[in-house]
Amino acid sequence: MENVHGTTVAAAHGDEHSFDVKLIWKTFRILLYITVFELILAIGYYKFEHSFSNQLLVKHLLNGVFIILTLAKAFFIVAEFMHLRHEIKNLIMTIAVPALLFLWFIGAFLWDGSSYKNLRNRYDRNHVEQSHQKVEKKEPGHEAEKPGTVE
Amino acid sequence: MAQAVQANKKWWSGGHSPFNVEYGKLMMWYFLMSDAFTFGAFLISYGTIRFSSNGWPDPNEVFRTFPGVQGEMPIPLAFVSLMTFILIMSSVTMVLAVGAGHAHNKKKVMLYMFFTILGGLAFLSCQAWEWTHLHGEGAWWGRNPFMNADGSQSSTNFTNFFFTITGFHGFHVFSGVVINIIMLIKTWRGDFERRGHYLMIEKAGLYWHFVDLVWVFVFTCFYLF
């Protein structure tokens, strides 16, 4: 209101009354539930991965769920903990619009990665053989730092 | 912000600060945005390499130990869940410190800042334990004792990215703890009380929440995928 001069003071006192402790704990509970849910999915997949007929499809679906839940968590942290949802729209836009670059960033680079893999698998038979060669299972925890050392 | 809700207010017609926040807070937001792109570049390069590899270690196999528990935990990822919980919890105490700052309650600000610092130190301790443990298993930059999920030989990409990115995040947590300690001392000396506002707590808080935010993505990329 009277923040024509001295935004500092106005910003410091402006949202004094809108600070809601209940909302903070609610946000905390949401974040906690989402994380627990993610863990249940991850552990559930780990326990039952061999009983799925199409393992790869299930894993991809699960990863999609993880992405959505992660973005949900990010939204709650930025919006409530960092209070961005309660700032004015101009400010929100200067933060949110550049973040959209991530869509291109992630899409382009993951596409590039998988394209590299496919091309290499097609033209480099040696690489394919090498990367599918099974190695003997080592017991982690007894792994010595130098390769070849057996405990 | 009660005055910000007026939808018809002409923020750009002069006489107002168009973003309605203090300069330092705005710049903190823009710094965090650039930092987000740094972390984004790290995580996306990790993703690119992972997408270009035929095999990758299974995180459920790699991260399944817990301090004080002999051998393997019956459920994987237990320790990292604890770390996540600690960091989210310290984020909550940070918001409560900001809230106490709004109410000009110096004692409460100090109390909540203390808990936030404690949470940060607990997280760093957990990370130190995890790194020490993985190092003991033979994992380090340039060394990867783990196999791919399909039983083939794994490259060192997994450990290189893991230690670089969690290390970079851990360094952020460390600097966040240092900033929070400075804020606690300044609160204790009454600097903010004299200044008439606790905006510095808010700026430190923004940084601290950002560290939490990054962890959410690191957690998903390394432990869940």
Residue A98 and residue B152: Cβ atoms within 8 Å? no
Whether the CB of B13 is below 8 Å from some CB of chain A: the reply is: no
Which of A60, A86, A112 is where one domain is finished?
Answer: A86
Residue B54 and residue A131: Cβ atoms within 8 Å? yes
Examine the domain organization and report whether A25 and A41 are in the same domain.
yes
A104 assigned to some structural domain: yes
Three-class HEC string of chain A: CCCCCCHHHHHHHHCCCCCCHHHHHHHHHHHHHHHHHHHHHHHHHHHHHHHCCCHHHHHHHHHHHHHHHHHHHHHHHHHHHCCHHHCCHHHHHHHHHHHCHHHHHHHHHHHHHHHHHHHHHHHCHHHHHHHHCECCCCCCCCCCCCCCCCC
Examine the domain organization and report whether A27 and A81 are in the same domain.
yes
A79 assigned to some structural domain: yes
- Token pair listed for A97: 């619009």
Domain count, chain A: 2
**Residue in B1, B96, B224 closest to A14 by CB:** B1
Examine the domain organization and report whether A79 and A38 are in the same domain.
yes
Examine the domain organization and report whether A94 and A82 are in the same domain.
no
Whether the CB of B19 is below 8 Å from some CB of chain A: the reply is: yes
Examine the domain organization and report whether A102 and A72 are in the same domain.
no
Enumerate the H helices of chain B as residue ranges: 23-51, 59-62, 78-102, 106-136, 157-189, 191-195, 199-219
Query: Which chain B residue shows the shortest CA-CA distance from A28?
Result: B92
A64 assigned to some structural domain: yes
Which of A62, A86, A110 is where one domain is finished?
Answer: A86
A106 assigned to some structural domain: yes
Examine the domain organization and report whether A96 and A62 are in the same domain.
no
Q: What is the pLDDT of residue B114?
A: 97
Q: Is the pLDDT of residue A141 over 70?
A: no
Contacts of A18 in chain B (CB under 8 A): 1-2
Whether the CB of B149 is below 8 Å from some CB of chain A: the reply is: no
pLDDT tens-place string over residues B118-133: 999 999 999 999 999 9
pLDDT tens-place string over residues A64-111: 999 999 999 999 999 999 999 989 888 999 999 999 999 999 999 999
Residue partners of B169: CB distance under 8 A and separation at least 6: B39, B211, B214, B215, B218
Concatenated DSSP letters for B128-141? HHHHHHHHHTT-BT
Residue B54 and residue A128: Cβ atoms within 8 Å? yes
A11 assigned to some structural domain: no
Examine the domain organization and report whether A106 and A92 are in the same domain.
yes
With tokens 């780990």, the residue in question is A46
Q: What is the ipTM score, two decimals?
A: 0.87
Examine the domain organization and report whether A64 and A94 are in the same domain.
no
Examine the domain organization and report whether A99 and A77 are in the same domain.
no
With tokens 């925890």, the residue in question is A141
A135 assigned to some structural domain: no
Whether the CB of A55 is below 8 Å from some CB of chain B: the reply is: no
Q: Is the pLDDT of residue A143 over 70?
A: no
Residue B54 and residue A121: Cβ atoms within 8 Å? yes
Domain span at residue A92 reads 88-122
pLDDT tens-place string over residues B61-86: 888 888 877 777 777 788 888 999 99
Residue B3 and residue A14: Cβ atoms within 8 Å? yes
Residue B29 and residue A14: Cβ atoms within 8 Å? no
A32 assigned to some structural domain: yes
Q: What is the pLDDT of residue A72?
A: 95
Examine the domain organization and report whether A25 and A82 are in the same domain.
yes
Examine the domain organization and report whether A72 and A103 are in the same domain.
no
Residue A90 and residue B150: Cβ atoms within 8 Å? no
A27 assigned to some structural domain: yes
**Residue in A11, A35, A117 closest to B54 by CB:** A117
Whether the CB of B14 is below 8 Å from some CB of chain A: the reply is: no
Decide: B208 and B87 in contact? Cβ < 8 Å. Answer: no
Examine the domain organization and report whether A25 and A69 are in the same domain.
yes
